[in-house]
Amino acid sequence: MAEEFDIVIIGSGMGGLVCADVLGREGYKVCVLEKNRQLGGSLQTYVRDKVIFDSGVHYLGGLSEGQNLYQVFKYLGIIDKLKLQKMDEDVFDKILIEGDEKTYLFAQGYENFIQHLLKDFPDEEKALRLYCDKIKEVCSKFPLYNLRTGGNIDEKNAVLGIDTRTFIESITGNKKLQAVLVGNSMLYVLQSGKTPFYVHAMILNSYIESSWKCIDGGSDIGKFMAKNIREHGGVIHRNTEVKRIVVEDGKVSYVETADGSKVHGKNFISNMHPVRTLDMTESNLIKQAYKHRVKSLENSIGGFVVNIVFEKNTYPYIKNNFYYIKDGQEWNLTEYNDETWPSCYAVFCSASSKSPDYAESMTLLAYMKFDEVKQWAGTFNTVSKEEDRGKDYEAFKKIKAEKLLSLVEERFPGVRKAIKSYYTATPLSYRDYIGNDDGSMYGIAKDYSNPLKTFISPRTKIPNLYLTGQNLNLHGILGATMSGLVTSVAFLGSEDIIEKIRNA
């Protein structure tokens, strides 16, 4: 490609697309290079038995008028185009605990949230109020999260070092309430003694503020942004994998793709995992110490997914999600073994325009360590490059799926009977589609004990190479959107776009 772009963006995940859309609007000629056939990274959907499945968007928070994600989507002109379904005000997530027949409800709106939990924990009003106040206080310290300009690091520093477990144990001695408050921790892969409270707070806050499902899947978010990017003169190349980031005279001059083409640009933004970005960048400007630091950071655990297609009109559509945790393991869910797996699971029904009353499908999500699939790590399988991982792998997935289904059936009687077919995905599927090393769901795990170590800057030592995506600040659609904005602000050297978004 002979043309030189203002900005070449490697990867079309949420962070990459936000950068491309925002910076295209600012007049820059952008080019997005995506290795997959479908755009969007974890926004991608896929169809099995004529039913649409999400790969990484089961629900979204902060989408009511004036809230943070709403305002960004409004600025990008996509909020009115998306087919959104508000989840029930009185329950977006139900928490299930092994051996306890009750279901604990997480409701939208802070007072509503407190009142619902008070029904099960009538003596815990003080703790619940402290919990909600702390979430709001912590979230208020992050300017961008509130689409506010002019913040500084001191503001955040005051809250970055709060440990989720220590804080929750400090507000209540009630073990059941503690377990319930971290009941949907699969949303952020809680690790005891590691996960900062700000991660918990920003995610919970967005869903308590408002919770939404995308009808017929979340890939529309990416499709509408791609349309915007093209309308602003940008170009998008799918099936184009970047293999090398070539540095000459102290800056990146081009990237080389799998077919040997060179794409030249004045600036480059990588939406790939930072480790992959560093591996592809040959330059002594990036110090070994920095590479070691980034490579030493732990990624969050991977996921095992069972996507179920139901026989028509057999299983009712359930608008809320469910999170199940094994009794007493709420702080150690990632530390399972063969006998104790699955330590937890999540259940999501997809919203379908074709079948509003009956669920067309159900997604089950459990944790899965990369080590469990390591023996097949040498295989690669996506729709663009299909490779059979072999019979052993299929047998392994079947055993896991059946074990997970048996546990789910205990709390969801009738699920098995309604199944028409099911399809599974492991950390290897995520690794191959997303392009990281270990199929991690949410990328670099944050650490309260050394918060700045696990923050990745959007800038690199190479002046025209930037980073974006879930590994920077926070994961999730909201988190990756914020990362896209952080990178755009770093690139522009001005917070004017935040003002524009706030006033959209």
Give contact residues for ligand FAD (rule: CB under 6 A): 10-16, 33-36, 41-43, 56-60, 241-242, 271-272, 303, 365, 430, 434-435, 441-442, 469-470, 475-480
Cβ proximity to ligand FAD: between 404 and 478 the closer is: 478
CB 327 within 8 A of CB 183: no
Q: How far is the CB of 160 from ligand FAD (least distance, A)?
A: 20
| 356 upstream amide cis, omega within 30 of 0 | no
Report the half-sphere exposure of 382 (CA within 13 A, side-chain side).
18
CA 197 from centroid of its chain's CA atoms: 17
DSSP letter at 440? B
Distance (Å, whole) CA 403 – CA 412: 14
CA distance 491 to 267: 9
CB of 239 to ligand FAD, least distance (A): 9
Q: What is the 3-state secondary structure (H, E, C) of 246-293?
A: EEECCEEEEEEECCCCEEEEEEEEECCCHHHHHHHEECCCCCHHHHHH
- Of 276 and 453, nearer to ligand FAD (C-beta) is 276
Amino acid at 82: L
- Closest contact distance (angstroms) between CB of 480 and ligand FAD is 4
Task: Supply the DSSP symbol for 461.
Answer: S
Q: Which is nearer to ligand FAD, 71 or 178 (CB)?
A: 71
The residue assigned the tokens 């670099």 is 444
Nearer to ligand FAD, 342 or 469 (CB): 469
Question: Residue 122 CB, nearest distance to ligand FAD (Å)?
Answer: 31
The smaller minimum CB distance to ligand FAD, of residues 43 and 144, is found at 43
Nearest-CB residue for ligand FAD: 13
Q: Closer to ligand FAD at the Cβ: 389 or 475?
A: 475
Which strands, in side-by-side order, build the sheet including 60-61?
60-61, 211-214, 84-86
Q: Which is nearer to ligand FAD, 171 or 182 (CB)?
A: 182
Shortest approach of ligand FAD to residue 276 CB, angstroms?
A: 6
Minimum separation from the CB atom of position 191 to ligand FAD (A) = 17
Question: Nearest approach, Cβ of 351 to ligand FAD (angstroms)?
Answer: 12
Ranges of beta strands (E only) in 82-162 are 84-86, 93-97, 100-106
Contact 263, 7 (CB under 8 A): no
